[in-house]
Structure 1
Amino acid sequence: MMLSRRRMLTRALSLASAGVLLPRLGIAAMGQGKQAFHMPDENAPHTRTWMAFGASRKIWGRELLPDVRRDLATIAKTIARYEPVTMLVREREYDIARSLVGDTVDLHVAEMDDLWMRDTGPVFVINGKGEKAAVDLNFNGWGEKQDYDLDAEVAEEVAQAAGVKLLRTELVLEGGCIEVDGEGTAIIAESCVLNDNRNPGWSKAEVEAELKHLLGLQKIIWIP
């Protein structure tokens, strides 16, 4: 039986006595106090969900493409019943997207290679003053396994559209490889970060220090 993200996080924390510990400073005391940003738990209240109507024939094929588009629209419309949703859409596909999502989803014209917003989009962070920012993790097509020239610009595009500050780093990884509890602990896929196709020359200590600074972490648990 597949584990939910919440159950996976809870189980991993209970088993992770060998997890890498970062100094326990407390989020409010880290960096610049209330100005220091941290990544909240995914279960924290959202003000908006960002998606991408980015399926392309080159990647998904002629037969799958219509089904993928319909599924994306269904997901977006379902979420929109509970909170605002903005979907990135290529200009040439705007009318197709609008016909599928109706008027319940906001559409934002932008170019992209594919639809995986969790990996290509920014990681949103917040500080003790309630200010939001977006971290650009320099998506590179999962280690240059897929075209990513356009997807590499998605994080900045979303930050601008959301009207928040963009935080930059030299680290290369995907948002989908990070799970946090909102209290300073993260589970991170080691193969997605400590890998020559993302971050050649970076030591684990250097990566941890950078992620602590960016995401307000105290403790990192590495998984394969």
Structure 2
Amino acid sequence: MFTRRRFFKAAGMLSASVVMNAGADASERDRESHRWWMPDEGEPHRRTWMAFGASAAIWGRGLLPEVRRNLATLARTLAQYEPVSMLVRRDEYDLARSLVGEQVQLHIARLDDLWIRDTGPVFVVNEAGQKAAVDFNFNGWGGKQRHRWDRRVADFVASEAGVKVVNTRLVMEGGCIEVDGHGTAIITESCTLNRNRNPGVSKAEFEDLLMPLLGLEKIIWLPGIPGKDMTDGLADFYARFARRG
């Protein structure tokens, strides 16, 4: 006999089930809205980050003036179309300002070199509209160049941009990866699976660690050429996405 007590017990169980399922759905939606992904570089963005970081110790006194002029030309040109933030050493602030003009925002920082695409963070976004910066632990392209200060650039830029840092134990550079902004990436094995960056990390383990960080669903692996240049063959050396991959 279906008594009132059994009715309320069944109704309570049904109600609890509905609430639990609703909570699970809400939790899933919340997780999805907070899932990070790396946009394509060609998508609209708030600003470009650069580094006025060339030094005589690395570039030599003969090349240094021309390198600085080229950096300034890039910054001034970009600043005509979008905000530009440039890192600069304290003792080179006046020189940088004289070269880049007033449109470029200068940030005093300690630097080893100018390659901020590799030393800086990889910015990620989510559906909730939040932004974060992934710090990939720059190590001077596998210890080939001094990086006492450049290994800290990612955290510094994140702080100046006012976004939280997403940490990982993976070691790589921004130039190691090309994305289409829809879940597909191009990566070179010679760079990321090199023992001078990620010793003992298998391709499967690397994918397991990287894909959730950047919202990836597919990685196109290129072999690359270890030792071919200082970077061991970054992905931006070989290919770019012309359309969704």
Q: TM-score, normalised by structure 1?
A: 0.86
Number of the residue aligned with 2:8: none
Number of the residue aligned with 1:102: 101
CA distance in 2, matches of 1:150, 1:64: 22
Post-superposition CA distance 1:17-72 (Å, at most 9, x none): xxxxxxxxxxxx89920101000011110100000000000000011101000000
The alignment yields a C-alpha RMSD, in angstroms, of 1.2
* 1:89–1:107 CA contact under 8 A, matched in 2: yes
Aligned-pair identity (%): 66
Alpha-carbon distance, 1:189 to partner? 1.4
Consecutive unaligned residues of structure 1, counting only runs of 5 or more, are 1-28
Question: Which of 1 and 2 has higher RCO (CA within 8 Å, sep 6+)?
Answer: 1
* 1:30–1:36 CA contact under 8 A, matched in 2: no
* 1:53–1:72 CA contact under 8 A, matched in 2: yes
The 3-state SS of whatever aligns with 1:37 is: coil
Paired AA for residue 189 in structure 1: T
Paired AA for residue 94 in structure 2: D
The 3-state SS of whatever aligns with 1:129 is: coil
Counting matched residue pairs gives 196
Number of the residue aligned with 1:3: none
CA distance in 2, matches of 1:211, 1:177: 12
- Written as runs of structure 1 = structure 2, the 5 A alignment for 1:152-171 is 152-171=151-170
Number of the residue aligned with 1:75: 74
**Larger Rg over CA atoms:** 2
CA distance in 2, matches of 1:38, 1:30: 16
CA distance in 1, matches of 2:59, 2:161: 29
Paired AA for residue 132 in structure 1: K
Number of the residue aligned with 1:211: 210
> Is 2:144 the partner of 1:142?
no
Alpha-carbon distance, 1:213 to partner? 1.2
Consecutive unaligned residues of structure 2, counting only runs of 5 or more, are 1-27, 224-245
Paired AA for residue 113 in structure 1: D
Which 4+ stretches in 1 moved above 3 angstroms?
none
CA distance in 2, matches of 1:144, 1:91: 26
Number of the residue aligned with 1:85: 84
Post-superposition CA distance 1:62-109 (Å, at most 9, x none): 111010000000000101111000000000100000000010100000
